[in-house]
Amino acid sequence: MDDKNRYRLETYTESKKKLFYQIYKKIITSARNKFFNIFKDATKYSDDKLVVDIGTTPSLDVEHNIFLEKTKNNHKITCLSNQNCEILKKKYPNLKEIVVGDGKKTNLPDNSFEIVHSNATIEHVGSLENQLLFVKECLRISEKYVFIQTPNRFYPIDFHTTLPLIHWLPKNLHRKILKIIGLEFYSLEKNLNLLSENDIKNICKELNIHSYQIIKHKLFMLTSNLVLIIKK
């Protein structure tokens, strides 16, 4: 196991012992159920659709793979992750294929899936340039729809660090503070680069994408997550 995945595992395992995690679990489970309903309606999803999930998490905990829970009857689901997700086959035998790869360069054929789905991944691919490549690659391998969900940078709490407001500061200052307080993993752009609604709009403009919508998911009346839906 490399340092990046070891850090994620140790941080996640430790956080599960805390009271905050139980609250977080309820919030994230509720939110991801709503994201799936948005996904289903916006992409006209049904269990016979050919779908790739980019950024799948190798976790058997329901809250981290709501998408796979909701698509158990679909035998045309491919999972692509930079981590080994073979463990998921035990719980989700319906999965067609599990691929270890890079969401910015999947090496999959053009238009190979009716729908490309990605949940809370784009903020972890690195720089804005990498995020552009990520969206561009999702478009390339999609035949009809792209669905990308990401946390909103301008929600008062960053759920990665559970810290309030400091992620509203200029990014270089935010990262310096995270490093100083011992959150070096999240202080690196390659591991966390939060997006705002304007960031997403600028990505679409840069890639000359016109047929898209951004749906705002609200938590306590404020926009906590942004859902980008692109129709080809």
Question: 């599990």: which residue's tokens?
Answer: 98
Per-residue pLDDT of the chain (232 residues; tens, 9 = 90+): 455 554 444 344 444 555 566 777 788 889 999 999 999 999 999 999 999 999 999 999 888 899 999 999 999 999 999 999 999 999 999 999 999 999 999 999 999 999 999 999 999 999 999 999 999 999 999 999 999 999 999 999 998 998 999 999 999 999 999 999 999 999 999 999 999 999 999 999 999 999 999 999 999 999 999 999 999 9
Question: 């998490």: which residue's tokens?
Answer: 57
Query: Mapping DSSP to helix (H, G, I), strand (E, B) and coil, where does residue 89 land?
Result: helix
> Which of 188, 218, 187, 214 shows the shortest CA–CA distance to 201?
214
**Cα dihedral sign for 41, 47, 48, 51?**
positive
Two tokens, residue 102:
């890079």
List domains and CATH numbers for the chain: 19-152+195-231 (3.40.50.150), 158-193 (no CATH)
Q: What is the pTM of this model?
A: 0.91
